[in-house]
């Protein structure tokens, strides 16, 4: 029987393990927690899920780019015929060009904010899967660090200075597997007062498909930095605010282990009071140090896995909204073009043959483009319907397994309803069944990629 099964059988909890305060047992405590909490899934499974969702949206964007280019060519080749569209939008050609560039160069920024010393850089290193950035990076509050993918596989750093020095350019390092030189370089550059931004290109899986991680010193440090950060906020796919809960609301004294859960719960309550729009599910407390140690050993801490799972949902969802907005705008352009074409034909002074040729050509081009657009929309609707059907089928199969039924329908004696009336007791049972089923579904969703092939 495995260590994890043994601990589960005797109901050892995370709090029980945390209560082992003897420093000599730190390694043992970490090993016990890893065996208790980690279910065997790897970081690669979570990254594959994120990349798969992004690739699906990237394909849609590429298809839209083709449609945008065809619409641009149609209007440009027949600018006289479509002259009315410039009255509707005199910048139509520029807007089409910008739309193409926006889709082509679309990025998904993950903006990480927090007070200096809150652990932002440690969290980003955890996201990357590598201790790449020195934790002293933001002793200089004027510096933003932006990390994006390096298709070449090189590890590059491009430093932007407030006052450009005589020699400025991209610094290339050997590789990410031996980042010592890079770390030393960053330690030196980050503390310089004339450094505005450091752009790092690194070959990490999480940065594929145009994901960008932005390590920011925060809003309010300086007005210039506030303006820069707010510019990122407007375009961010995900916004993460890092809080050091163990400082107990700013008291610079580490909280004893046996009081950790109390402090976490108190911090969560305060955050919910401060921001009424915030949902408790958006607050994910976990130890970055512990998660990093698990990751070094090939495991993924469950709460950090929740963070990765949220990214896998939120980033493709943001891409979908961008695609949908671009698709809706282009459809409006096509509908307006068709209306203008008909009006132009009615008022035209061309000969009957010229009019017929123009009419046939324009209507056919618009018709073809409209078909492509409708096919694109239909395909996306089909994809959504397919995902819903697959998800429903998977949930049905999951709920009907003996394991799930046993877990959901098994009640401890303390959980049995004590209501004197059958109606009240039945309502109590239904509520507990619903809550247990939700927890079972959440756990199964976390394990889904591990259990089922891609």
Q: What is the DSSP string of 57-95?
A: HHHHHHHHHHHHHHHHHHHHHTTTTTHHHHHH-TTHHHH
Name the percent of the chain lying above pLDDT 90: 8
List the single range of 1-5, 12-16, 113-117, 379-383 with lowest mean pLDDT. 1-5
Instruction: Specify the pLDDT at position 423.
Output: 63
92 or 44: which carries more pLDDT confidence? 92
Q: What is the dihedral of CA 305, 306, 307, 310, to 10 degrees?
A: 120
Q: Do 114 and 120 form a contact (C-beta atoms < 8 A)? A: yes
The pLDDT tens digits of the residues spanning 266-280 come to 888 888 888 878 888
Instruction: Specify the pLDDT at position 250.
Output: 47
157 or 104: which carries more pLDDT confidence? 104
Average pLDDT over residues 294-310: 85
Reply yes or no on whether the pLDDT at 99 is more than 90: yes
Instruction: Specify the pLDDT at position 83.
Output: 74
Q: Return the exposure string of 220-232: e unless at least 16 CB atoms fall within 10 Å of the residue's CB, then b.
A: ebeeebeebbeeb
Instruction: Specify the pLDDT at position 1.
Output: 44
**Sequence-distant (≥ 6) Cβ neighbours of residue 36 within 8 angstroms:** 4, 7, 8, 12, 14, 17
Alpha-carbon span 454 to 91, nearest angstrom: 44
Reply yes or no on whether the pLDDT at 398 is more than 70: no
Reply yes or no on whether the pLDDT at 289 is more than 70: yes
Reply yes or no on whether the pLDDT at 65 is more than 80: yes
Residue among 283, 133, 281, 105 at smallest CA distance from 204: 133
The pLDDT tens digits of the residues spanning 30-48 come to 676 666 666 777 788 778 8
Q: By 3-state DSSP, what share of the chain in percent is helix, strand and coil, each rounded to 5?
A: 65, 10, 25
Alpha-carbon span 115 to 270, nearest angstrom: 17
Q: Do 249 and 262 form a contact (C-beta atoms < 8 A)? A: no
Residue among 112, 122, 170 at smallest CA distance from 144: 112
User: Which token pair is 262?
Assistant: 């109390």
Instruction: Specify the pLDDT at position 453.
Output: 44
Q: Which helix (H) or strand (E) element contains residue 28?
A: helix 26-37
Reply yes or no on whether the pLDDT at 187 is more than 80: no
Instruction: Specify the pLDDT at position 450.
Output: 46
Q: Which domains does the chain have, with CATH numbers?
A: 1-37 (no CATH), 43-104+317-398 (no CATH), 108-312 (3.40.50), 400-454 (no CATH)
Alpha-carbon span 364 to 368, nearest angstrom: 6
**Sequence-distant (≥ 6) Cβ neighbours of residue 332 within 8 angstroms:** none
Average pLDDT over residues 281-291: 85
């Amino acid at each position: 029987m495995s260590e994890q099964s043994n601990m589960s059988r005797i109901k050892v909890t995370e709090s029980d393990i945390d209560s082992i305060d003897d420093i000599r047992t730190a390694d043992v405590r970490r090993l016990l927690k890893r065996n208790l909490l980690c279910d065997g899934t790897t970081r690669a499974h979570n990254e594959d899920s994120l990349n798969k969702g992004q690739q699906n949206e990237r394909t849609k964007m590429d298809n839209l780019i083709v449609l945008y280019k065809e619409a641009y060519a149609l209007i440009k080749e027949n600018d006289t015929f479509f002259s009315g569209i410039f009255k509707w939008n005199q910048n139509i050609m520029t807007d089409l060009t910008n739309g193409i560039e926006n889709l082509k160069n679309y990025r998904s920024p993950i903006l990480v904010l927090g007070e200096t010393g809150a652990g932002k850089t440690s969290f980003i290193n955890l996201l990357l899967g590598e201790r790449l950035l020195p934790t002293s990076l933001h002793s200089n509050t004027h510096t933003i660090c932006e990390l994006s993918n390096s298709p070449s596989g090189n590890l590059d750093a491009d430093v932007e200075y407030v006052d450009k020095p005589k020699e400025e350019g991209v610094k290339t390092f050997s590789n990410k597997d031996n980042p010592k030189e890079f770390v030393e370089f960053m330690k030196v550059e980050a503390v310089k007062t004339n450094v505005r931004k450091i752009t790092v290109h690194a070959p990490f899986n999480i940065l594929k498909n145009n994901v960008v991680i932005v390590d920011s010193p925060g809003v309010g440090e300086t007005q210039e930095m506030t303006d820069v950060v707010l510019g990122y906020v407007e375009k961010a796919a995900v916004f993460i605010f890092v809080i050091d809960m163990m400082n107990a609301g700013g008291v610079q004294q580490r909280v004893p282990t046996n009081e950790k859960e109390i402090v976490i719960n108190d911090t969560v309550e305060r955050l919910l009071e401060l921001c009424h729009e915030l949902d408790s599910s958006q607050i994910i407390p976990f130890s970055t140090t512990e998660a990093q140690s698990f990751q070094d050993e090939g495991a993924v801490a469950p709460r950090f896995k929740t963070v990765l799972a949220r990214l896998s949902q939120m980033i493709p969802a943001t891409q979908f909204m961008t695609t949908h907005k671009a698709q809706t705008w282009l459809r409006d352009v096509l509908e307006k073009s068709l209306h203008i074409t008909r009006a132009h034909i009615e008022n035209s002074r061309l000969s009957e043959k010229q009019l017929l040729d123009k009419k046939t050509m324009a209507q056919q081009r618009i018709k073809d483009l409209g078909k492509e657009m409708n096919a694109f929309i239909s395909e996306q609707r089909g994809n959504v319907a397919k995902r819903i059907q697959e998800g429903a089928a998977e949930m049905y199969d999951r709920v009907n397994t003996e394991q799930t039924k046993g877990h959901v329908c098994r009640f401890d004696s303390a959980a049995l309803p004590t209501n004197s009336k059958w109606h009240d007791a039945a309502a109590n049972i239904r509520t507990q069944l619903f809550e247990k089923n939700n927890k079972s579904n959440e756990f199964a969703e976390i394990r889904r990629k591990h259990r089922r092939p891609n």
